[in-house]
């Protein structure tokens, strides 16, 4: 089962590796996957939408209905009563097309049997300054990139000879490519702004980002030659955060590791960073944290005590946290990407003939 499922996450890793166009940004992504052998309870088609790394909508071939995954989607559907039905139809159309595309590629590669996957990642990113935006779309087959869209030239980039067939067909229809560019750089950005507004309204109304205290505790991950410490920050909102290790007040990068900025189920976020040092020098090091939710920057010391305070959300922890966090599994990322054609006006799906 694990070997069969592995290809589903490979295209996700490409998304994680996308070049960041700015230091701080928001993103809207949709991730679609179809498989040739839906055995052992796996749906043949799955579509998940993500905003800032958090899944907010889900569709699969078992339910054949789009389902919300976050509480602020209730307000979206209240303001737009046709939202769920409209996008359910979009995903059903995508499901049929992906099945056809999967069969087309199996024929192209002369594959009569075996387990095969086809995937698409589509979305946009907006810098928090509101000036820089970027759209992207890529298609994959059996865990390898098949096609990518170049928004600058409005053309497709083929990664192998079989992909050239689809590239020539799609590039011959410049109207299709122009609509694709408009979706990625305009419509997607517009919906990203709407979703961010709904999320912000929900968090401000419920106050879910206000935790009454922060905790600092140190577990004994210490030897005679070195010690490992982890600064873990949990429950903060908004997403942007600046955290670093400092030695004698200066930023220190040696023997440091940073985790991924990951959303919680309630719409807040958590993050961690670790450091490996000489235990005799632990008094020189601090975890430095800056965030809009803090009245002033925090400098957390390695004192081995348990403290509680009113700083809102900082959780400091050491010991075995790093062993769990340094090896995030692919399925966790699969749950936290977004993708697909979800917004109206896209121009429809396209067969890979």
207-233 confidence digits (pLDDT tens): 544 443 343 333 335 455 678 888 888
- Whether 139 is in a domain gets the answer yes
Do 65 and 10 contact (CB within 8 A), yes or no?
Answer: no
Q: Is 44 in the same domain as 169?
A: yes
Which CATH number covers residue 296?
Answer: 2.60.40.10
- Whether 69 is in a domain gets the answer yes
Q: Is 255 in the same domain as 183?
A: no
Q: List, for residues 152-163, the tens digit of each pLDDT value.
A: 999 999 999 999
Q: List, for residues 160-189, the tens digit of each pLDDT value.
A: 999 999 999 999 999 999 999 999 999 999
Strand partners, 135: 124
First to last CA, the chain: 31
Q: Is 201 in the same domain as 236?
A: no
Q: List, for residues 39-88, the tens digit of each pLDDT value.
A: 777 899 999 999 988 889 999 999 999 999 988 999 999 999 999 999 99
Q: Is 82 in the same domain as 194?
A: yes
Q: Name the pLDDT band for 320 (thresholds 50, 70, 90).
A: very low
Cβ within 8 Å of residue 142, ≥6 positions away: 7, 116, 117
Report pLDDT for 343.
Answer: 29
| Domain interval for residue 266 | 220-301
Tally the domains of the chain. 2
Instruction: Look at residues 179, 206, 233 and tell me which one is the last residue of a structural domain.
Output: 206
Report pLDDT for 323.
Answer: 27
DSSP state of 198: H
Q: Is 192 in the same domain as 154?
A: yes
CA dihedral 187, 193, 196, 201 (to 10 degrees): -130
Instruction: Report whether pLDDT(267) > 90.
Output: no
- Whether 338 is in a domain gets the answer no
Q: Is 197 in the same domain as 114?
A: yes
Cut 0.85: pTM above it: no
Instruction: Look at residues 206, 234, 266 and tell me which one is the last residue of a structural domain.
Output: 206
Question: Scanning the structure block, which residue is given the tokens 């750089």?
Answer: 185
Q: Which one is predicted more confidently, 16 or 323? A: 16
Report pLDDT for 350.
Answer: 43
Q: Is 30 in the same domain as 116?
A: yes
Q: Which one is predicted more confidently, 298 or 181? A: 181
Radius of gyration of the chain (CA): 23
- CA 170 → CA 94, 173, 235, 340, distances in Å? 17, 5, 45, 18
Report pLDDT for 311.
Answer: 33
Average pLDDT over all residues of the chain:
76
Please state, in angstroms and rounded to a whole number, the distance separating the CA atoms of residues 138 and 184: 12
Q: Is 255 in the same domain as 127?
A: no
Instruction: Report whether pLDDT(27) > 90.
Output: yes
Q: Is 197 in the same domain as 275?
A: no
Nearest Cα to Cα of residue 182 among 137, 120, 145, 138: 137
Do 194 and 187 contact (CB within 8 A), yes or no?
Answer: no
Q: List, for residues 88-146, the tens digit of each pLDDT value.
A: 999 999 999 999 999 999 999 999 888 899 999 999 999 877 778 899 999 999 989 99
Which CATH number covers residue 65?
Answer: 3.30.500.10
Please state, in angstroms and rounded to a whole number, the distance separating the CA atoms of residues 185 and 177: 12
Q: Name the pLDDT band for 16 (thresholds 50, 70, 90).
A: very low
Q: What is the mean predicted confidence (pLDDT) over 313-322?
A: 29
Report pLDDT for 22.
Answer: 63
């Amino acid at each position: 089962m694990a070997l069969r499922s592995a290809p589903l996450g490979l295209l996700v890793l490409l998304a994680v590796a996308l070049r960041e166009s700015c230091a701080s940004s928001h993103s809207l992504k949709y991730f679609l996957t179809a498989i040739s052998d839906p055995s052992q309870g796996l749906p043949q088609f799955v579509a998940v939408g993500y905003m800032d790394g958090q899944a907010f909508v889900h569709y699969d071939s078992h339910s054949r209905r789009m389902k919300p995954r976050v509480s602020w989607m209730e307000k979206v559907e209240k303001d737009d009563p046709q939202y769920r039905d409209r996008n359910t139809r979009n995903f059903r159309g995508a499901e049929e097309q992906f099945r056809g595309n999967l069969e087309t590629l199996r024929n192209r590669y002369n594959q009569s049997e075996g387990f095969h996957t086809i995937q698409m990642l589509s979305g946009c990113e907006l810098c928090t300054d509101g000036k820089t935006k970027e759209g992207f779309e890529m298609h994959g087959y059996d865990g390898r990139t098949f096609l990518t869209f170049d928004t600058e030239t409005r053309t497709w980039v083929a990664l192998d000879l079989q992909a050239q067939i689809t590239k020539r067909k799609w590039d011959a229809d410049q109207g299709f490519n122009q609509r694709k560019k408009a979706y990625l750089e305009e419509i997607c950005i517009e919906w990203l702004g709407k979703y961010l507004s709904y999320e912000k309204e929900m968090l401000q109304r419920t106050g879910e980002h206000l935790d009454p205290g922060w905790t600092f505790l140190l577990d004994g991950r210490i030897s005679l030659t070195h010690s490992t410490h982890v600064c873990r920050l949990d429950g903060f909102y908004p997403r942007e955060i600046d955290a670093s290790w400092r030695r004698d007040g200066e930023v220190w990068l040696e023997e440091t590791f940073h985790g991924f900025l990951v959303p919680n189920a309630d719409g807040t976020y958590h993050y961690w960073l670790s450091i490996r040092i000489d235990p005799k020098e632990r008094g020189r090091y601090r975890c430095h944290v800056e965030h809009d939710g803090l009245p002033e920057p925090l400098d957390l010391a390695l004192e081995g005590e348990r403290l509680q305070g009113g700083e809102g959300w900082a959780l400091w922890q050491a010991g075995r946290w790093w062993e769990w966090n340094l090896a995030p599994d692919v399925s966790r990322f699969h749950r936290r990407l977004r993708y697909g054609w979800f917004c109206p006006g896209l121009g429809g799906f396209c067969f890979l003939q």
